[in-house]
Amino acid sequence: MALNTIDTSQSKLRNTYIAVLIPLGIAINYVGGLIAEVLSLPIYLDSIGTVIVAVIGGPWVGAISGVLYNIVSSLIGGNVLASLFGLCNLGTALIVGYLARAGKFKTVTHIVIATILVALLNAIIGTPIGLVVYGGVDGNASTNLLIAGLQATGSDLLSAAFIGRLPSQLLDKGIAVVISWLIYWRLPDNLRVLNASKSGSESAAAE
Amino acid sequence: MQRNEGKTALERMGVGPKLWLCLGFTLAILFVKNIFFGIAVIVASVFVVVHEDKLGLFKVILMTSLVLFVSMYGIYGTMAPGLDKASEPVWFYIGSLPYWRSGIDYATRYYFNVVPLMCALFPLITSIDMGDLGALLRKMGLSQRAAFVFIDSFQLIAQLSRDMQQIKDAQMARGLRVDGNVFQRLKAFVPIMVPVVANSLIKIQDQAVALETRGFNAPGDKTVYRELSYTKTDSFVRMASIFLGLGAICYRVLVVAAVVKPLSGAIS
């Protein structure tokens, strides 16, 4: 029996796939961030794994993967306070996972809506966390320059931190969502049914 | 049974005492809030990193610390969040940029929360053996599935990092440019990342089937092929860490209750 015909939606094998997907999402997030660092990019690119796992395995599987990524990366980097940013990944996974489960992860319009929602949520949640951990700035130099510029025009720190994060979040989450979308629709059917609702599994089977 | 035979004292230290040390240092740095203590932790950590021959990996921490220093002191010092600038004189100028004392204090408050923590935890975390950590998590009562997920993530990070390097080299050999302006570097991200992700998703099918054939979902307790043994030094380190953490909490409570004065170098 070929691997791509094995039905992964059934209980025990599904649980095994999920147990393997979660660490994979963590590793993809980490490597995304590593590539962004190697290429000296002004964005993080450390949520691709969260989005892919949420789309494949479901919103809560993606959420576990996202939160664990922030815990693991904060342990590796030593900044345990940064694990609070796991709440951003939690929100990302829930939005994208439920959109995918509802069949709203197919067209370009869906991708644009997902990107905007995820970027807004990350800016809303990330701003107060950034205030607690770093006092308002970010670990990203270009975002910090934007925050400084906005403060120089008279904005208070909270508004400057929120607005300063929006452009980088739109770009960052946009790339994550687009890459995940491109890869998801090229996966074999037996992997795509992991996050299917009853209607989703019928349409995935029909494709 | 496998035992961990490390080459250095830090590698030979048990995983339990290392985690207690991490907790002790975290509580001490967050609750003592003292600039001299923070500097002492940073210096001691650099000494340990050099002794453990991990300076190459530690460069990432140093770069992050530098970026945070420039960002925090550069922005907060001159923006001075929450300060009524008319009421306080400028402390010094860098070029034409004014810097206020309260802005520098604001930056110090956050900088010395983050950087000493990064420096202290780095040698401890990077010297933890994943097999020992898995055995400890199982001993603490975590389910076999949860322990597997946690440990596998570290192993996959190492594996995907190697894959990423190979794919990057292969794409560069095919003419991919990883330098240039931001847009060129952003374009270079996709041909590196997509093969890494796609290959890893294909491999998980093999991994899932391999786990199933090895009884991953089989009922009953799973055994662990790793023996955890602790020396007297490990017990001393554990007690010292508990003392450090509890001492830090007690110090902070006494300072807040105005029973004792903060030590010299206290961060407001």
ipTM of the complex: 0.84
Instruction: Give the model's pLDDT for residue A3.
Output: 45
Contact residues, chain B, for A175 at CB < 8 Å: 186, 189
Report the alpha-carbon distance of residue A99 to residue A25 in Å, rounded: 18
Which tens digit of pLDDT belongs to each residue from B87-99?
788 888 888 888 8
The yes-or-no verdict on residue A197 having pLDDT over 70 is no
What is the CA A89 to chain-centroid distance, rounded? 6
Contact residues, chain B, for A187 at CB < 8 Å: 201
DSSP A106: S
A77 within 8 A of B118, measured Cβ to Cβ:
yes
Are A20 and B208 inside 8 Å of each other by CB?
A: yes
The whole-model pTM stands at 0.86
Please compute the mean of the pLDDT values over residues B53-69 and round it to a whole number: 87
Are A135 and B107 inside 8 Å of each other by CB?
A: yes
A3 within 8 A of B209, measured Cβ to Cβ:
yes
Work out the number of other CB atoms within 10 angstroms of the CB of residue A165: 23
> What are the CA-CA distances from residue A53 to residues A60, A62, A63, A89, B8 (Å)?
9, 5, 9, 11, 39
CB-count exposure of residue B1 (10 Å: 0-12, 13-18, 19+): exposed
Per-residue confidence band for B5, with pLDDT thresholds at 50, 70 and 90: low
Report the alpha-carbon distance of residue B160 to residue A71 in Å, rounded: 18
The yes-or-no verdict on residue A192 having pLDDT over 80 is no
Which tens digit of pLDDT belongs to each residue from A130-165?
888 888 777 677 788 888 888 878 788 888 888 888
Report the alpha-carbon distance of residue A87 to residue A121 in Å, rounded: 10
Residues, chain B: 268
Are A41 and B182 inside 8 Å of each other by CB?
A: yes
3-state secondary structure of B122: helix
Structure tokens at B88: 């306080």
Q: Could you tell me the maximum CA-CA distance found in chain B, to the nearest angstrom?
A: 72
> What are the CA-CA distances from residue B211 to residues A3, A12, B207, B214, B218 (Å)?
14, 11, 6, 5, 10
What does the H/E/C string look like for A37-62? HHCCCCCCCCCHHHHHHHHHHCHHHH
Per-residue confidence band for A64, with pLDDT thresholds at 50, 70 and 90: very high
Segment 169-188 of chain B within 8 Å of chain A by CB: 178, 182, 185-186, 188
Are B194 and A182 inside 8 Å of each other by CB?
A: yes
Instruction: Give the model's pLDDT for residue B4.
Output: 53
3-state secondary structure of B97: strand
What's the one-letter identity of residue A76? Answer: I
Are B148 and A19 inside 8 Å of each other by CB?
A: yes
**Mutate which: A4, A8, A14, A20, vs B, most B CBs within 10 A:** A20
DSSP A23: H
A10-198, CATH topology level? Arp2/3 complex 21 kDa subunit ARPC3 (1.10.1760)
Please compute the mean of the pLDDT values over residues B214-230 and round it to a whole number: 77
Helix, strand, coil share of chain B (percent; to 5): 70, 5, 25
Structure tokens at B113: 């929360």
Work out the number of other CB atoms within 10 angstroms of the CB of residue A67: 20
Identify which of A17, A148, A182 has the shortest CB distance to residue B79: A148
User: Cβ of B44 under 8 Å from any chain A Cβ?
Assistant: no
The yes-or-no verdict on residue B172 having pLDDT over 80 is yes
The yes-or-no verdict on residue A71 having pLDDT over 50 is yes
C-alpha neighbours within 13 Å on the C-beta side of residue B31:
19
Report the alpha-carbon distance of residue B150 to residue A63 in Å, rounded: 14
Report the alpha-carbon distance of residue B68 to residue B38 in Å, rounded: 15
Report the interhelical angle of A59-77 vs B101-126 (nearest 10°). Answer: 100
Per-residue confidence band for B22, with pLDDT thresholds at 50, 70 and 90: very high
**Mutate which: B23, B71, B187, B196, vs A, most A CBs within 10 A:** B71
Contact residues, chain A, for B268 at CB < 8 Å: none
**Mutate which: B60, B73, B157, vs A, most A CBs within 10 A:** B157
Q: Which of B25, B56, B18 is nearest to B40 (CA)?
A: B25
Instruction: Give the model's pLDDT for residue B140.
Output: 87
User: Cβ of B125 under 8 Å from any chain A Cβ?
Assistant: yes
* Lowest mean pLDDT, pick from A8-22, B190-204, B229-243: A8-22
Instruction: Give the model's pLDDT for residue A121.
Output: 95
Are B71 and A141 inside 8 Å of each other by CB?
A: yes
Identify which of A16, A39, A182 has the shortest CB distance to residue B216: A16
Tokens 């603490």 identify what position?
A: B140
Segment 12-41 of chain B within 8 Å of chain A by CB: 26
3-state secondary structure of B267: coil
Contact residues, chain B, for A136 at CB < 8 Å: 76, 81
Identify which of B113, B118, B194 has the shortest CB distance to residue A179: B194
Q: Which of B220, B189, B262 is nearest to A33 (CA)?
A: B189
What is the CA B167 to chain-centroid distance, rounded? 27
B136 within 8 A of B111, measured Cβ to Cβ:
no
Among chain A residues, the shortest Cα distance to B154 is held by A27
Identify which of B75, B114, B159 has the shortest CB distance to residue A144: B75
Are B149 and A148 inside 8 Å of each other by CB?
A: no
Instruction: Give the model's pLDDT for residue A195.
Output: 61
Work out the number of other CB atoms within 10 angstroms of the CB of residue B264: 8
Are A38 and B168 inside 8 Å of each other by CB?
A: yes
Identify which of A8, A34, A69 has the shortest CB distance to residue B161: A34
Q: Which of B103, B75, B72 is nearest to B89 (CA)?
A: B103
Structure tokens at A68: 């664990």
* Interface A:B, Cβ pairs < 8 A: 188
Instruction: Give the model's pLDDT for residue A198.
Output: 39
